[in-house]
Amino acid sequence: MSISVKILGSNSASFAHNRHQTSQVVEIDNIFFLVDCGEGTQIQAKRYNVKISKIDYILISHLHGDHYYGLIGLISTMHLYGRRKTLTLIGPPGLLEIITLQLKHSGTNLAFKINLIEWKVGIQELILDLPKLTIKTIPMNHSISCSGYLFEEKENLRRLNVNCLPEQLTPFEIKTLKSGADLLNADGSVRYVNQLVTLPPKKHDSYAFCSDTRHQPEILNWIKGVDLLYHETTFMNDLVQRAQKTYHSTTNQAGQLAAAAKVKKLIIGHFSTRYRDLTPLLDEVKACFDKTYLATEGSIFKTDD
């Protein structure tokens, strides 16, 4: 499997220079996750051919408006479009209260169920366990409770090597081989050595979304070796003091973290409105970590590219 990330928005604070606020769609094995939902996300989804009916999970990093003000609009549209299947909403404490209040005062009785999972502040936890992947939280260092998300595919099974596979295997024997065990005769002796008839499992990929945060080296422990890292880069390096004061990161900090964590690719976003041209930011990060890309709207990043 591979993980794909489609960017719908990547500006901080407000809409500026034709850039919308944070939102992206992560797709793994045909399951669609919306990560953050800044204002205008449903318009961006339409623009970039994302079917909102396919989104079954929405993950919110924190309750600053640039990361979730599009949420109630999107939920309302899902309702108007006749959604019936459950929507899982993952986010910080307080999210349920906000959504409930908005629905209550607009007199909306949703035709679908919301399964809300609020994470615990300040600790990493397994927040979602699906058959083929898990999602863990990544505690951020921000002015309010904030969390990133680590998407990890589960380890895949061994693959049958069709060129040297014995004929007429039973379903149980196939399952045994895929699990990595040898096939045995009734007397316990080895009939087929697993490694001679199977191939290693396909690589399992990972993606880390690091939302608004001050530079904190501890993040390294949670994102080591991921295939794809998204990290905020609100400011250029000359504004390192300002970044510290406002709980954000700079170009150098994001690049150095990606290099130290030995990730394969880095996507930078959450750009300050003060930057119309993003090339200087990209250049600064690339000086620390070459495989860096701007989170421009409509861009798609894949773990197997």
Residues acting as catalytic residues: 66
Q: Please, what is the minimum distance in Å from the beta carbon of residue 270 to Zn ion?
A: 6
Contact status: 158 vs Zn ion (CB under 5 A):
no
Q: Please, what is the minimum distance in Å from the beta carbon of residue 139 to Zn ion?
A: 14
**Interface map 51-70 toward Zn ion (x if CB under 5 A):** -------------x-x----
Chain positions 177 to 206 lying near Zn ion, rule: CB under 5 A, are none
C-beta closer to Zn ion: residue 21 or 292: 21
Q: Please, what is the minimum distance in Å from the beta carbon of residue 272 to Zn ion?
A: 10
Contacts of 73 (CB under 8 A, 6+ apart): 41, 42
Q: Please, what is the minimum distance in Å from the beta carbon of residue 61 to Zn ion?
A: 8
**Interface map 11-50 toward Zn ion (x if CB under 5 A):** -x--------------------------------------
**Interface map 253-292 toward Zn ion (x if CB under 5 A):** ----------------------------------------
| d(C-alpha 123, C-alpha 31), whole Å | 26
C-beta closer to Zn ion: residue 64 or 158: 64
Residue count, binding to Zn ion (CB under 5 A): 4
C-beta closer to Zn ion: residue 143 or 241: 143
Helix/strand/coil (H, E, C) string of the chain? CCEEEEEEECECCCCECCECECEEEEEECCEEEEEEECCCHHHHHHHCCCCHHHEEEEECCCCCHHHCCCHHHHHHHHHHCCCCCCEEEEECCCHHHHHHHHHHHCCCCCCCCEEEEECCCCCCCEEEECCCEEEEEEECCCCCCCEEEEEEECCCCCEECCCCCCCCCCHHHHHHHHHCCCEECCCCCEEECHHHHEECCCCCCEEEEECCCCCCHHHHHHHCCCCEEEEECCECHHHHHHHHHCCCCEHHHHHHHHHHCCCCEEEEECECCCCCCCHHHHHHHHHHCCCEEECCCCCEEECCC
C-beta closer to Zn ion: residue 5 or 78: 5
Task: Return the amino acid letter for 139.
Answer: P
C-beta closer to Zn ion: residue 79 or 214: 214
Chain positions 208 to 237 lying near Zn ion, rule: CB under 5 A, are 212
Q: Please, what is the minimum distance in Å from the beta carbon of residue 64 to Zn ion?
A: 3
**Interface map 65-104 toward Zn ion (x if CB under 5 A):** -x--------------------------------------
Residues contributing to the site for Zn ion (CB under 5 A) = 12, 64, 66, 212
